Structure 1
């Protein structure tokens, strides 16, 4: 097993790509600390994995993140892999419902040959912008800051940050999401340069359409429209994306750092 006796810390581990990633590392023999804001959800599929260590955690809380990594240090004394998969596309249900309504209105207008001009900027509150940035950007910063000393002590490590295809292309949507995900790419590149002398690689994934509970919150017809924009006209499975994470975290991916990989069915080509 490729990660026997290794220790991985995965955020967003209760569902979607985070859960699939945790499952992949567990299958390869790693002890997996799985962090998620929902203790109830962690207690379901994640907690059943071999080597699972559930960590109920709001990654927007910097002090709580420090405490979580102190636990890893106390229990295992090492950290080999950090995966920042936790994230949100809206700060609350009301904002998500408004986004879905705008998306569907635009899709309907396109089908009917009408113009549609989505407007988001003026409706975003300071609180909503701050909440999404705290989760999507501050969270990976907090975990990276706490993981780095442990990885330096271990002698090597790999950090994989989840960004989004929305950070690489122009998308009409509330600005907090692409702004936060673009920030993740800057964090990735800076961390890659700073941590390379310590044998720690840092890379990012910028997924497109992946079949997760978060993605499925959109209208089915609109999802079909999004997938239709891709050269590969299907969604990815979370397990497919997890295999890329395993590659980047393992020996075979150790020469890559500061890179952004976009599993997006060809929606993003670089």
Structure 2
């Protein structure tokens, strides 16, 4: 097994791609510390994995992040893999409802041969923009900062940061999401350059449509429309994304750093 007795830290570990990644790492022998906002959510599936250590915290709370990594320092003194999978596409339920409603308007207009022009920029508040940036960018910086000494102590390591296809394509949506996910790419490249001398690789993953609970909040007809934008007309299973992450974290992927991988069914092509 590729990660026997190695220590990994995965954010967003209670569901979706974060949980799938935690499962893949555990199956390869890793001791996986999994962070998510809800202890109850972590207990449902993540906590049942062999070697799983659930940690309930707010990824945007730097003190909570530091405390979690202090625990890893005390218990192991090193880290092999950091996966930053936690993120949101809206700061709260009301904002998500607005986004879904606007998407439906766009879709219904297209069916009628018409056009609906959504207005997001003027309607985005300071508070909403700040909250998404704190989760999607600040939280990733906090974990990277806390993990760096432990990755160096390990002698080699890997960081995989979750971005989005929305960061590298033009998408009409609330600006905090593509802005935050594009910032992830800049953070990834800087960390890749700085940490390479220590045997640490840093890469980003920018998925397209993935069959997660969040993705399934829209109705089936609209989901089919989104998937139809991709050359490969299906949503990825979270386990497929996890296998990409596993490769990037492993010795087999050790010559890649500062890269953006986009398992997006061909939506993003470089």
What residue is the counterpart of 1:145 in the other structure? 145
What is the root-mean-square deviation of aligned Cα atoms in Å?
0.5
Find the aligned partners of 1:214 and 1:253 in 2 and give their Cα distance: 29
Question: C-alpha offsets along residues 199-222 of structure 1, whole Å, 9 cap, x if unaligned?
Answer: 000000000000001111122211
Once the 2 structures are TM-superposed, how far is the Cα of residue 114 of structure 1 from its aligned partner? 1.1
TM-score, normalising length from structure 1? 0.99
Structure 2 gaps of 5+ residues are none
Contact 1:100 1:219 in 2 (8 A): no
**Where does 1:167-178 land on structure 2 (aligned, <5 Å)?**
167-178=167-178
Per the alignment, in what secondary structure is the counterpart of residue 29 of structure 1? coil
Contact 1:4 1:30 in 2 (8 A): yes
Question: C-alpha offsets along residues 156-176 of structure 1, whole Å, 9 cap, x if unaligned?
Answer: 110000000000000000000
Per the alignment, in what secondary structure is the counterpart of residue 211 of structure 2? coil
**Where does 1:55-66 land on structure 2 (aligned, <5 Å)?**
55-66=55-66
Per the alignment, in what secondary structure is the counterpart of residue 122 of structure 2? helix
What residue is the counterpart of 1:163 in the other structure? 163
TM-score, normalising length from structure 2? 0.99
Find the aligned partners of 2:237 and 2:268 in 1 and give their Cα distance: 17
What residue is the counterpart of 2:204 in the other structure? 204
Find the aligned partners of 2:154 and 2:263 in 1 and give their Cα distance: 30
**Is 1:8 paired with 2:8?**
yes
What residue is the counterpart of 2:221 in the other structure? 221
How many residues end up aligned between the 2 structures?
Answer: 270
Contact 1:104 1:219 in 2 (8 A): no
Deviating beyond 6 angstroms after TM superposition, the runs of 4 or more aligned structure 1 residues are none
Find the aligned partners of 2:74 and 2:128 in 1 and give their Cα distance: 36
Per the alignment, in what secondary structure is the counterpart of residue 82 of structure 1? strand
Find the aligned partners of 2:88 and 2:224 in 1 and give their Cα distance: 21
**Where does 1:90-129 land on structure 2 (aligned, <5 Å)?**
90-129=90-129
What residue is the counterpart of 1:26 in the other structure? 26
Find the aligned partners of 1:166 and 1:115 in 2 and give their Cα distance: 21
Structure 1 gaps of 5+ residues are none
**Is 1:240 paired with 2:245?**
no
**Where does 1:42-53 land on structure 2 (aligned, <5 Å)?**
42-53=42-53
Question: C-alpha offsets along residues 65-84 of structure 1, whole Å, 9 cap, x if unaligned?
Answer: 01111101111111000000
Find the aligned partners of 1:162 and 1:222 in 2 and give their Cα distance: 24
